[in-house]
Structure 1
Amino acid sequence: TAMAERYGVSVPQLCIRYTLDLGTVSLPKTANPAHMRDNAQVDFAISEEDMDTLRGLEHREYGEFSFFPVYSGK
């Protein structure tokens, strides 16, 4: 949350930008038109230092989806 606040964006926007910067496809899900507009507004850059911080997040157990490395720090 603090990192998103520093960039002046929401946490979902930060997560979307992060996955795009990793070169992956981000598929945010919402039926809310306002959220769709917000999710598309990711025209900011995450610093390399913050990218390193995000890459180093503690691994969490997500059950069958734990293999997905984007948020696991792998």
Structure 2
Amino acid sequence: MDQVTAAQVILRWNLQKGVVVIPGTGNPDHIKENLDLFGFALGADDMDRMNALDRNEKHDWY
């Protein structure tokens, strides 16, 4: 996998969980970064590890 940012991993993790994400930024570099979410996927092991971090907290955005 090419280098990706932490923000991309978090956005991709949410997308793969079926969460609709609407990132907002006015920074052109961040906009391009956000569009690159579809150039990679997280493997099952990565998803399992990230899901294990879930503390069952609910937030306003989901």
TM-score range, shorter chain: 0.7 to 0.9
TM-fit CA distance, 1:58: 5.2
TM-score normalised by L of structure 1? 0.68
Aligned partner (choices 15, 19, 22) of residue 14 of structure 2:
19
Q: 1:54 maps to what in 2?
A: 50
1:67 pairs with 2:58: yes
**Percent identity at matched positions?**
31
Output one character per residue of 1:26-62: Cα deviation in whole Å (capped at 9) or x when no partner: 11121111101111101201010010000001528xx
- Rounded to whole Å, the distance in 1 between the matches of 2:35 and 2:5 is 12
TM-score normalised by L of structure 2? 0.79
Aligned partner (choices 9, 15, 30) of residue 35 of structure 1:
30
Q: Give the number of aligned pairs.
A: 58
- Rounded to whole Å, the distance in 2 between the matches of 1:32 and 1:67 is 28
Instruction: For structure 1, list consecutive stretches of 5 or more residues without a partner in the other structure.
Output: 1-5, 61-65, 69-74
How well do the aligned residues superpose, as a CA RMSD in angstroms? Answer: 2.0
Q: RCO higher in 1 or 2 (8 Å CA, sep ≥ 6)?
A: 2
